[in-house]
Amino acid sequence: MNWYLEAFKKYAVFSGRARRKEFWMFQLFNIIVSIVLSIIDAALGIQLLSLIYVLVVLIPNLAISVRRLHDTGRSGWWILIGLIPLVGFIILLVFYCSEGDQAQNEHGPNPKLAPAY
């Protein structure tokens, strides 16, 4: 849960780097919350809660995705490759699953070596 909340603390921070664990834990909690809200919406016969949630997490999701790309040594603009159907998704998935640069890169120091909070 801390990884999910940490992404919201860095709501619109597009600089720096994000570890794989931080990225994937955010995505996991995001999917769980989306499923729960979809079930509630289906029970109520509306789609309002899901829509509000998608709008709330849009910017944090973009920000953590860009920071994850930074960790692999890529520009955040690589996120736009996701607009290409299927091929773009596969390429981004490979980038998101790749291990980050061990040393400091142009986007900052290795987040694995950062002190724990």
What is the tens place of the pLDDT at every residue in 59-115? 999 999 999 999 999 999 999 999 999 999 999 999 999 998 888 889 888 888 766
Distances (CA, A) of 94 to 7, 98, 108: 21, 6, 21
More confident residue, 14 or 110: 14
Instruction: Decide if pLDDT at 116 tops 80.
Output: no
Spatial contact of 15 and 107, defined as CB atoms under 8 Å apart: yes
More confident residue, 43 or 100: 43
Task: Enter the pTM of the model.
Answer: 0.88
105 DSSP β-pair partners: 108
CA distance 117 to 115: 6
